[in-house]
Amino acid sequence: MTDAPRTHCELAIVGGGPAGLAAAALAAELGVETILFDEQPTPGGQIYRNIEANSRKHDALSNILGADYAKGLALVERFRRSGAAYEPLSAVWQVSAAGKLGVSRKGRAYLTRAGRVILATGAMERPVPIPGWTLPGVMGAGAAQTLMKASGLVPEEPTVIAGSGPLAYLVALQLMKAGAPLSAVIDTSQKGLFETGFAALPVLSGFGRDLLKGLSWMAALRKARIPVFSGRNLAVEGISRVEAVSFETRGKRQRLSASLLLLHEGVVPNNQITASLRCRHVWDTAQMAWRPWTDEWGATSTELVAVAGDGAGISGARAAAHRGRLAALDAACRIGRISRAERDERALPERRHLQREARFRAFLDSTYCPTEAVRRLADEAIACRCEEVTAGELRAFVAEGFTDINQLKSFSRCGMGQCQGRMCGGTVARVLAQSLETDMETVGYYRLRPPVKPLPVAQLAELGNAERDLRPSPLGVDGDPSQRV
């Protein structure tokens, strides 16, 4: 990291998880002048968060996080050796179609011009808008895992994990190993891993290890006598913080006390930048999420911009590294470091791995439906955490005739708060689609505008390296040839 901001590079990569690290390492090895920007202080993304420090210490934490986590170190080491420049603690607040990046680091904003951009912004936990989910003491299961990886923090008061998907069980297992007082798991997936696992056996040949791993997590919970309920229609109870979680199981309502409630209904692509670029997006019915349309190299409908890893559709950490390398090969080819023939040749092993991963992903998608996140919201459930707008209030707006998602945004203020719609976009669209009895494609998504990360106006006013023609236009409108630098 240098203090003078770099104003040009051949390839800019946004995000330091497996896709970004693999892309940056390979691109730099192929002679492409590469900069990787990341919001975190150290490389690894969320999946391999803090991997370097945690690998140096051989303590309780390494054992808790396990072997799959430890595999991330090789990616980080290859990245560190590759010669790619690295800008940690950097927020990318704009990417333009012309390859301009707005970056904010150490309280200063600056612009960098890139010949090509690979977005590796990864995934975020799908928001779970149940009644009471804004109360202190309610977090994502992934959030608890992040605290463990980044700072060695584990819950010390009665904890309940509620949700669907492998991460819910993995976090349960890790908390148990860490000696956290895990009182119960509420499985909201409504399908058993056994049933779907056996039904899917033909496509799962070769994934015995992964399947067994999932089953062994559940066996470990059983052995530790941690109750696993099948539940739906969750609600958080509490006045100033969470006191309990209630849910329906076998037709009855049950209540469990909890000091910490960890929710998880899978992960969705972090699309903020591609949405602000107006890249073409595709509604993924299996994953119940929007993803940017990409070609087989990760290239989007915006010429200079590619997406790699979970940001282009959820396929997991192993696949993310391969997708990162494909995007890097394509970038190196476009920039002229390798021929098309070399690009295609080098892509073959990456593609073989990806085809394999895709089969397992299809199985996971069909097994773990994000039931709680996609059912009809209770009227009192808060849809937009920032502006505190409930599903009932949204429905009242729809009944008054506000049937366009951006109109609904303007009038309800959903999506106009600090998080810029990250937490409510999917929910508001779903409430609207359900009210209008239409589909998510018809409803569409918020019109997002830069800056995609909030930054103080003072930073914009003092853009570190601003030559006049490098400044973004006030409206953030792009594609105007007169703005080219």
Q: Interface with another protein by CB under 8 A: which residues? A: 39-42, 46, 50, 53, 59-61, 89, 91, 107, 124-125, 134, 136-140, 142-143, 146-147, 150-157, 178, 240-241, 259-260, 270, 385-388, 417-419, 422-423, 454, 456, 458
Using the minimum distance from each CB to another protein, give the nearer residue, 143 or 398: 143
- CA–CA gap between residue 397 and residue 418 (Å, rounded): 22
- Under 8 Å between Cβ of 173 and 220: yes
Pick the closest to residue 276 from 424, 472, 477, 109 (CA basis): 477
Residue 430 beta carbon to another protein: minimum distance, rounded to whole angstroms: 18
The pairing of strands 108-119 and 123-125 is unpaired
Give every strand in the sheet of 182-187, ordered side by side.
138-140, 260-265, 159-164, 182-187, 228-230
CB nearer to another protein: give 73 or 211. Answer: 73
The C-alpha atoms of residue 249 and residue 54 are separated, in whole angstroms, by 39
Closer to another protein at the Cβ: 99 or 127?
127
Q: Could you tell me the smallest distance in angstroms from the CB atom of residue 108 to another protein?
A: 13
Considering the complex, state which of residue 23 and residue 386 has its C-beta at the smaller distance from another protein: 386
Least Cβ distance, residue 422 to another protein (angstroms): 5
Q: Which residue has the tokens 């590619």?
A: 306
Give the residue carrying structure tokens 């030559």: 467
Of 28 and 245, the one with the shorter C-beta distance to another protein is 245
d(CA 233, CA 12): 44
Minimal distance, residue 411 CB to another protein, in Å: 15
In terms of CB distance, is 363 or 445 closer to another protein?
445
Name which of 38 and 350 has its Cβ closer to another protein.
38
Least CB distance to another protein at residue 224 (A) = 19
Task: Note if the bond before 451 is cis, omega within 30 degrees.
Answer: yes
CB of 124 to another protein, least distance (A): 5
Closest CA to 154 of 188, 186, 177: 177
State the nearest-atom distance from the C-beta of 282 to another protein, in Å: 22
The Cα–Cα gap between 345 and 268 comes to 31
Burial class of 340 by CB neighbour count within 10 A (0 to 12, 13 to 18, 19+) = exposed
